[in-house]
Structure 1
Amino acid sequence: MKNNLKNASNAKERILNSTLYIIGKEGFQNVTTRKIAAAADVNIASINYHFGSKDNVINEALKCFTGMFRNSFKILDNNELTPVERLRNFLKSYSDVSTEYPDVFKNFVNKLIYNEEIQPEYMKFLQQEGISSLMNILKELTDVKDDYHLHMMGLQIISTLIFPILLGNKIENIAGLDYKNKNVRYDYIELLIESIQGK
């Protein structure tokens, strides 16, 4: 994530952006009110005024992060678009969010791997809405109708989007791809869509 934290229009937004930045760079356990204040160019009293405590700031920042992914999944339910357009727009949006906040995303996945307490809101959303929206679009695009195989396909799609983020800059050394480049990322997505459609 670029450190453009001080460009945010108001103190509250800067505090949230700064918190996400620190979570990504140093991990949840290393977030302090003092670090947030320095990164957001505010005083500690401002953080307490807007959020009350460091834990509240972290929770609110993670809700914002979760909200970005929720918005990506909502694209799948936009019936004004064709199924392939919905899938394409979802994949682009999901990859854009994870690329904008790669370190937060990596930290999030790391907590999942080590079974630490994770944002229950995001996990609940994935289980109750997100995955089913993805499965519904896959039903429309393929001949696959059974939940077992649709779940597998959904997992493959999400994994395909996550892996380049986890590799970070190493992906350029391994595959010669600059995944941060939007054009490269969108070519990658087109290839994924073609494979889903069996082309």
Structure 2
Amino acid sequence: MSELKSVEERLLDRTLYLIGKHGSVNVPVRTIVKEADVNIGAINYYFGTKENMLRQVKKFYIENLISTVVPLDDESLEDEEKLKRYASLSMEYSMRFPGVIALLKDAFETKEQDEMSQKIVEETMLMEEKLNRVMKRYLKDVEDEYSIRKTIFLSSIIYPTLEFNELNGTAFLIDEKKRMDYIDKVVKLIRQGV
């Protein structure tokens, strides 16, 4: 995942975070600059317009999304380990950037009008193909239940990261070891069946 090295990247990071908090890409500029702790002129300086900044946010999202699927392509790993590492990276990314779901939804809605949204959709579909390939090998002979097991797997990754906290019992996910223990159980569960 990209690390923040500049004011520009902090603006992208905080915008993606706020998209998640607001559940929409329509986050006011003043809210963004307040969250990023920068002057309002920083958006014009680094991006020219809010629309250009949103294009860069989408690019930032794609770069980080691609990094989550790297384990799925790692042929040195067994399929079970690929799924675990993919799940961990996806959860980490979703906790850091809760805006991924809102941005993905927006991309599917605007893919015809926006080149970066189309790119997000394309990368998401490639990720889906890679995940399907690995999961089908891992689950073997469960074609009739494949979509159910995949839904359980994805729900187990996505749902707890939407609002992770003590109140709903998901704060443990911040701890990498506890998160990996959780993922290990989920991956084994989908193989055993329901």
> Do the structures match in fold with TM over 0.5?
yes
Match among 8, 21, 24 for residue 25 of structure 1: 21
Deviations 1:124-147 (A, max 9, x none): 2222x111111211232232375x
Give CA deviations for 1:15-69 in whole Å, capped at 9, x if unaligned.
212222332333422331x333343344444322322210111221133123322
What is the RMSD of the two structures over their aligned residues, measured on CA atoms?
3.0
Change (3 A) 1:10 1:126: closer
CA distance in 1, matches of 2:146, 2:162: 24
Shift of residue 106, structure 1, vs aligned partner: 5.2
Where does residue 160 of structure 1 map in the other structure? 156
Q: TM-score, normalised by structure 1?
A: 0.75
Confirm or deny that 1:36 pairs with 2:20.
no
Aligned residues: 184
Q: Letter of the aligned partner of 2:63 in structure 1? A: G
Amino acid at match of 2:16: L
Give unmatched runs, 5+ long, in structure 2.
Answer: 112-116
Q: In structure 1, what is the equivalent of residue 82 of structure 2? A: 86
Q: How does 1:52-71 map to 2 (within 5 A)?
A: 52-71=48-67
TM-score between the two structures when normalised by the length of structure 2: 0.76
Q: Please name the residue that 1:133 is paired with.
A: 130
Q: Which residue of 2 aligns with 1:185?
A: 179
After the TM superposition, list the runs of 4 or more consecutive aligned residues in structure 1 that deviate by more than 6 angstroms: none
The letter for the 2-side match of 1:64 is F
User: Using the alignment, how far apart are the partners of 1:185 and 1:101 within structure 2?
Assistant: 17
Percent identity between matched residues is 24
Deviates more, 1:51-60 or 1:41-50: 41-50
For the 8 Å contact 2:61–2:100, the answer to whether it is kept is no
Residues 47-101 of structure 1: CA distance to partner in whole angstroms, max 9, x if unpaired?
A: 2232221011122113312332221123201112222221211111111111122
Structure 2 CA distance for aligned equivalents of residues 134 and 68 of structure 1 = 16
CA distance in 2, matches of 1:8, 1:126: 23
**AA of the residue aligned to 1:47:** I
